[in-house]
Amino acid sequence: MKQIFTKFYGFDDVKISKNDLYVEDGIIVEKFSKEEADEIIDCNNLALMPSFTDMHVHFRDPGFTYKEDLETGSYAALKGGFTNVLLMGNTKPTVSSPEIYEDIMKRGKDIDLIGIDQVYTITKNFDGKTLDHLDTLPESVKFISDDGHGVDDDAIMYLAMVKAKKLGVNMTLHEEVAKVSAIDYEVAEDAMTLRDCYYAYKLDMPVHFSHVSTKGAMTAIKYFKDLGAKITCEVTPHHLYFSEKTRDEMKVNPPIRREEDRQFLLKMIKEGYVDAISTDHAPHSAEEKKNGAPGFIGIETAFSTCYEVLVKSGIISLNQLVKIMSTRPSELLNIKKGKLEPGYMADFTLVDLDKSYEYKEEDILSKSKNSLMIGKTLYGSIERVYRGGELKYENNR
């Protein structure tokens, strides 16, 4: 099928364009004649950008589908402008076997809403010590992670990196020294981040750091990046939006940090040390949140949150936001999207940058409603989302 997308303001990681986009069978192509087009899509002068990729989400499937499942999570992702996600492995059972991994991948593909990648656990069932399950790692696995836990044992983590390098698989790491976190969570994150930056540097191993939240952890990442380590990192919208002034009412892991930490994360984004914005979308029931379960949903509001904090404030340009919400995370997941150029996937998110809206609980598509943004006025409304040239979401607000 040949399509022409017209009448838009196009933003990718480097350029702004008003030129039409030509799509054939879901891929951006060079120009063809309008007479050849099967469909001409009027974008109504909206901002068109490559749809977003989230490297850190929890869809709770299998085992906790009363909170979220692959289908509801996919709809929530589309509402937020995302067409690719990386799922964490703290399901029930955990993703420590080819059978569980393949089942999730197959069901995600059959749903056919967004692209889904699934991590595999670093240690078997998060036991912190067993690595032999990696001997049967499916070839399509891109990342391994014990998200929700740090790998406390120094030797096990070293051996895990050696094994991951041999297998050619990346790591995305939750950094937290368990016995320290109850005493000083800031030190707990900083200390493990420093250890794993050093391991990655010495082993020449690509490692991705999840939901970085402290000045200390980001300083370590900056230092080892400057040394040439193959490390990348992500920050979350909620750690950019909130700080200690309101953190007592926000149970999340890692916690909402001091204003000093938030400002340093913003500085590192501006200087180009942050590779991705990832939501850590964490659905919970109302009862679980009441009982202190950590985490919040955020994939539906991520763009609006970051647009306000980073672009409207003048810290970075919209092109730079596209880079860390689409281009770089897509590169890290080896997905051919994130640019408005021939050869790239026709995954587009159309945004009304001038439109404000109140985020209401009744508008949430996620199965869970535990959002920090309910009742807030947000800017940058996601109007339409295309995956492979196919309309997957349209805003009916």
Residues 6 or more apart in contact with residue 359 via CB below 8 angstroms: 300, 301, 304, 371, 373, 374, 375, 376, 378
Q: How confident is the model at residue 319 (pLDDT cuts 50, 70, 90)?
A: very high
Q: Is the pLDDT of residue 246 over 70?
A: no
Give yes or no: 280 in active site: yes
Beta partners for 350? 48, 384
Residue 334 CA to residue 206 CA, distance in Å, equals 14
User: What number of H helices and E strands is found in the chain?
Assistant: 12, 16
Residue 392 CA to residue 54 CA, distance in Å, equals 17
Q: What is the mean pLDDT of residues 238-257?
A: 83
**Bond preceding residue 206 cis, omega within 30 of 0:** no
- The pLDDT assigned to 173 comes to 98
Residue ranges per domain, the chain?
Answer: 2-48+345-394, 52-339
Q: What percent of the chain has pLDDT over 70?
A: 98
Q: What is the mean pLDDT of residues 245-250?
A: 58
Q: What is the mean pLDDT of residues 170-188?
A: 96
Q: What is the pLDDT of residues 88-104, one digit of tens each?
A: 999 999 999 999 999 99
Which numeric CATH code is attached to 52-339? Answer: 3.20.20.140
Give me the count of residues in the chain.
397
Residue 382's nearest CA partner among 367, 397, 366 is 397
Chain center to CA of 8? 26
Q: How confident is the model at residue 250 (pLDDT cuts 50, 70, 90)?
A: confident
Residue 26 CA to residue 343 CA, distance in Å, equals 10
Q: Is the pLDDT of residue 312 over 80?
A: yes
Mean pLDDT computed over every residue of the chain: 97
Q: Is the pLDDT of residue 397 over 70?
A: no
Q: What is the mean pLDDT of residues 302-323?
A: 98
Q: Is the pLDDT of residue 244 over 90?
A: no
Q: Which fold has domain 2-48+345-394?
A: Urease, subunit C; domain 1 (2.30.40)
Q: What is the mean pLDDT of residues 270-291?
A: 97
Q: What is the mean pLDDT of residues 346-362?
A: 97
Q: Is the pLDDT of residue 111 over 70?
A: yes
| Residue among 275, 280, 347, 352 flagged as catalytic | 280
- The pLDDT assigned to 396 comes to 85
Q: Is the pLDDT of residue 114 over 80?
A: yes
- The pLDDT assigned to 247 comes to 47
Q: Is the pLDDT of residue 67 over 90?
A: yes
Residue 262 CA to residue 142 CA, distance in Å, equals 30
pTM of the model: 0.97
63 to 94, 95, 250, 271, 296: CA distances (angstroms): 9, 11, 25, 41, 18
